[in-house]
Amino acid sequence: MLGAGLFLAPTLIRAGRKGVSANDKIRVGLIGCNGMGYSDLSAFLRNSEVECVALADVDQRVLDRRVADVEKAQGKKPKGIYKDWRRLIDDKNVDVVIIGTPDHWHCLQLVAACEAGKDVYCEKPLGNSIEECNIMVRAAERYGRVVQVGQWQRSDPHWQDAMDFVHSGKLGKIRTVRVFSYQGWCPSIPVKADCPAPEGVDYDMWLGPAPLRPFNPNRFHFTFRWFWDYAGGLMTDWGVHLLDYALYGMNVTAPRSIMASGGKFGYPDDACETPDLLQTVYTFDGFTVLWDHAIGINDGAYGRTHGLGFVGENGTLVVDRDGWEVIPEKVSGKQRMEAVELHKSYGGGGLNLHVKNHLECIKARTPQACNASIQIGAHIAKFAQLGNIAYRTGKKLTWDGATFHDAEADSYLCKEYRNPWTLPKV
Same domain, 220 and 317: yes
1 occurs within a structural domain: no
Q: Are 181 and 297 in contact (CB under 8 A)?
A: no
H or E element, residue 249 = helix 239-250
Same domain, 186 and 128: no
Task: Locate all alpha helices (DSSP H) within 219-349, ordered by sequence.
Answer: 233-237, 239-250
| SS3 assignment, position 160 | helix
Q: How many whole angstroms from its chain centre is CA 7?
A: 17
DSSP state of 88: H
Q: Are 294 and 241 in contact (CB under 8 A)?
A: no
Which pLDDT score, from 0 to 100, does residue 9 have? Answer: 57
Which CATH number do you get for residue 37?
A: 3.40.50.720
pTM of this structure: 0.94
Q: Are 222 and 331 in contact (CB under 8 A)?
A: no
Same domain, 394 and 372: no
Same domain, 97 and 239: no
Number of domains in the chain: 2
Same domain, 204 and 328: yes
Which pLDDT score, from 0 to 100, does residue 187 have? Answer: 82
Dmax of the chain from CA atoms?
70
Same domain, 108 and 163: no
* Mean pLDDT, each 10-residue run in order, the chain (426 residues): 44 55 86 97 97 98 98 97 98 98 98 98 98 98 98 96 98 98 93 98 98 98 97 97 98 95 97 98 98 96 97 98 97 95 87 97 98 98 98 97 96 97 97
Same domain, 256 and 323: yes
Range of the domain at 399: 156-348+380-410
